[in-house]
Structure 1
Amino acid sequence: LYPHVARSRPEIAGRITSMLLEMENSEVLMLLQSEQHLQAKVDEARRLLELYSNVSPPVNPAEIAGQPPEVQRQYFGERLYPRVARYQPELAGKITGMLLGLERHELLEVFESEQTLQSKVEEARRIILLHVDEVAPPCTAAELAEQPPELQKQFLGERLFPRVAYHQPVLAGKITGTLLMEMTNEDLMELLKSKEMLLDQVNEARRVIEENAGIAGKPPAVQKQIIGERLFPQVLQYYPLLAGKLTGMMLEMDNSDLLVLLDSSQLLKDKVEEAKLVLDTTCGPDAHLLTDELLLQAEQPLADIEAQQPTPWFAEPEPTGDLESESSQASPVLSPLAEGK
């Protein structure tokens, strides 16, 4: 893989190769068979490296006092986008556009508070999934033809990702990438138009992921046991005295979410820290000294903790799983900025 990457990005070939090797072996083999797909992944990895290596410029409203609204919008957008992309890289452009519609004092608060930023980004993400046909409408053949050939897959991916995320939020990136590599542009355009066809493809991709993990076709309890046996040793390296309790808390998550954690050391570490914070909040930092009975109250599902979102600044219905009916009840979303990763 390295020589192929080095042909286009010799100065950072090592780092990009390491990033690509985090993918499934089957996906890496597909990259080696398609120069176009490989180049698209190399460009994506390069953008991520640039994003995370650069610090977003500071915000000083006095610099743009008296400037036209479009200049002020660009000023804030350039500084907001990298911050949003840390949490939602695939939807960063759309979410940035939505946040730029906030009142000035609310927007400045987003820059000043990381917690407020995270909250607003999550609220905007939920809105996008509910209003996906308005935010990322299916494209026509003419619109796709206007894109350079090397960017057409990315163009389709920007419209496909939020639709996949509605059904599988944690696996959305992996499933979207698989569909982009395996399907032709014509088939992808049909997929964007048909909710039934999309759901079938998403379910099939999830089945393949579970099959690769060795849990497909097994009873749910057995699946949990297999995942737990793989999860515990990894949690053990962070908090040996609490590994059992933390693993038990994390096993309340969906199996598909847990498979993603097992596939990403960084996501796993973040989730372990989140579970530890819940445990500390409930039982204190000396939780490892308490009895099992006292610790039971802390073992609530992490999924329930994540679901406790603050009241959004948008008025939207809770998702019921019927994307079409939800979208028909919803009001339009603010026009997003041009998408970018």
Structure 2
Amino acid sequence: MDNDDDLETLGEQLYTRIFHEHNEDAGKLTGMLLELPAPVLRRMLQDEVMLATAVEKAVKALHVDMHQETSKTRTEEDNDSMSSDSLGEQLFDLVDIYNTGYSQKITGMLLEQDKEAVLKLLSDPKQLEEQLNAALKTLQQQRFEETDISDASDPEDTEGLGEKLFLQVEKLDKLHAHEITGMLLEMDADVLRQLLRERTMLEAAVHKAQAALST
């Protein structure tokens, strides 16, 4: 199957999934998501939480564009006049699709490059994915080294994390809070701290746990 056929198939599948909740804007939202790399689109179709997050961001972007009457593709002149804040917001939205748990940090690392390099990342999904993976490896290595030095796997620390986690999970699913918290506590303590810091990451983990409970 060539790339055009593959994209058309992915587009049809995305449209079908999006149409149920956003029938009026399904076409526009599908078109926006199809700007992402094909591997990311396939992953979305297999991960409902990732798809829902991406659609939500596309809906927000669409409403902003409609309000400002800037829904057409930006020209190179528009790109030249973009502010650093605007570049950062666009880059964050793309990075956040990958749901790494380090979206803000990775965006900050990528924004350390000059403006032309950042603009290239916005228009070249493959290059963005390569640099994102490199930044992610760096952050994970740093965290591993920090953990190596400071983490003594204190049971009391894990207990404290469990209590904090339960309070957050209870807000999302009061009925299954105990079961879901128990499932999440099987993760590394470092990941649990990330869940407490990153609301989106916590919601995704809770959704996955709910899916596992319902099977």
TM-score range, shorter chain: 0.3 to 0.5
TM-score, structure 1 normalization: 0.31
Larger radius of gyration, structure 1 or 2? 1
TM-score by length of 2: 0.43
Structure whose residues are more often helix by fraction? 2
